Amino acid sequence: MPASKFSFEELVVWQKAVDFASRVIRLTECIETERRHYRVIENCEAAVVSIASNIAEGNGRRSTKEYVQFLYIARGSLYESITQLIIFHTNGWISAEDLLELRELATEIGKMISGLIKSHK
């Protein structure tokens, strides 16, 4: 018998955020840079994981106010992630094509998060 799903797993925005995090993590695994920059890469990985994590955590809260607060945190982590990816591109660590693809997915996720926020206010 298959395990039951958590309600957040049904959210398309959560699914896209998991995909976004997986893509970014796979991309960062290919970055070859000096050891002193590992912290920046780890920060980016933490930020992308935080997006889906905060959507899920907020979904599990008992109040709408708390849910919306976690959605704001998720959106902030999304913006943080894009900023870091822009810096990666500026430093030549990722291609313009990779950045464009991730920006497009991030834009879609951002709109979905904003839509959820508006629908719960």
Q: HEC string of the chain?
A: CCCCCCHHHHCHHHHHHHHHHHHHHHHHCCCCCCHHHHHHHHHHHHHHHHHHHHHHHHHCCCCHHHHHHHHHHHHHHHHHHHHHHHHHHHCCCCCHHHHHHHHHHHHHHHHHHHHHHHHCC
In this structure, is residue 63 part of a structural domain? Answer: yes
Residue 88: per-residue pLDDT: 95
Q: What is the CATH number of the domain that holds 105?
A: 1.20.1440.60
Total domain count, the chain: 1
pLDDT band at 2 (very low <50, low <70, confident <90, very high): low
In this structure, is residue 48 part of a structural domain? Answer: yes
In this structure, is residue 21 part of a structural domain? Answer: no
1 has a pLDDT exceeding 70? no
pLDDT in tens, 44-94: 999 999 999 999 999 999 899 999 999 999 999 999 999 999 999 999 999
CA separation (Å) from 40 to 6, 43, 85, 99, 112? 32, 5, 10, 16, 27
Give pTM, 2 decimals.
0.93
5 has a pLDDT exceeding 90? no
Residue 3: per-residue pLDDT: 75
pLDDT in tens, 7-31: 899 999 999 999 999 999 999 999 8
36 has a pLDDT exceeding 90? no
